[in-house]
C-alpha cells in the first residue's frame, strides 16, 4: 500500500471514539489505550471499501482517510 492509497488513521487526531472498529471490526482494531489502528490497510472487496468510506464519514475527529487506487481498490 502506497501512502496515497488504502486506509490510514491519523494518530494525532484519533480520540478513541471507537466508531470505526464498531462499524468495521475487520478493517480497524484498537491499541492498548483504545485508539484506532488500521487492521486491513487495503480492503479486498467492494463491500469492505464501502465500509471504509462509512468509517471515514463516521469518525467524529476526521482522523480516518481512505483513498482508492486507480483500479478502484
Partner 1 sequence: MTQRDTTFAVDEEFLRTFDYESPEYSEDPHSVLRAVRTASPIVRSDLYGGYWFVTTYAEGYRVLADPKTFSSSVTLVPPPEEPFDLIPVTVDPPDHTAYRKLMTPLFSPGEVARLEPAIRARARALIATYLSAGAGDFVAEVAIPLPSTVFLELLGLPQSDLPRLLQWKEAILRGRVAADDDVRNHALQVEIPGFLEYASTIVADRRAAPPTGAPDVLTGLVSGTINIDGGRPMTDAEIVSAVALLVVAGLDTVTNALAFSMETLAKRPDLRQHLAENPELIPTAVEEFLRFWSTVTTSRYTTTDVEIAGQLIKAGDMVSISTPAAGRDPAQYEDPEEIRFDRAVNRHLAFGAGPHRCLGSHLARLEMKIALEEVMTMMPQFVIASCAEPTHVFGHMMECTNLKLTIQP
Interface residue list for partner 1 (CB under 8 A): 15-19, 21-22, 30-34, 54, 57-61
Output the smallest distance, CB 32 to partner 1, in A.
Answer: 5
Output the smallest distance, CB 6 to partner 1, in A.
Answer: 21
Element (H, E) at 51: helix 46-58
Are residues 28 and 37 in contact, defined by beta-carbon separation less than 8 angstroms?
A: yes
The alpha carbon of 54 is separated from its chain's Cα centroid by a whole number of angstroms, namely 9
- Which C-beta is closer to partner 1: that of 41 or that of 53? 53
Contacts of 67 by beta carbon, 8 Å cutoff, 6+ apart: 4, 5, 6
- Which C-beta is closer to partner 1: that of 1 or that of 29? 29
- Which C-beta is closer to partner 1: that of 57 or that of 69? 57
Amino acid at each position: 500500500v502506497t501512502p496515497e492509497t488504502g486506509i490510514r488513521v491519523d494518530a494525532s487526531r484519533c480520540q478513541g471514539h471507537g466508531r470505526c472498529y464498531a462499524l468495521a471490526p475487520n478493517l480497524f482494531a484498537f491499541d492498548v489505550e483504545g485508539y484506532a489502528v488500521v487492521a486491513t490497510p487495503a480492503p479486498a472487496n467492494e463491500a469492505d471499501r464501502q465500509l471504509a468510506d462509512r468509517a471515514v464519514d463516521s469518525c467524529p475527529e476526521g482522523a480516518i482517510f481512505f483513498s482508492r487506487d486507480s483500479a478502484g481498490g
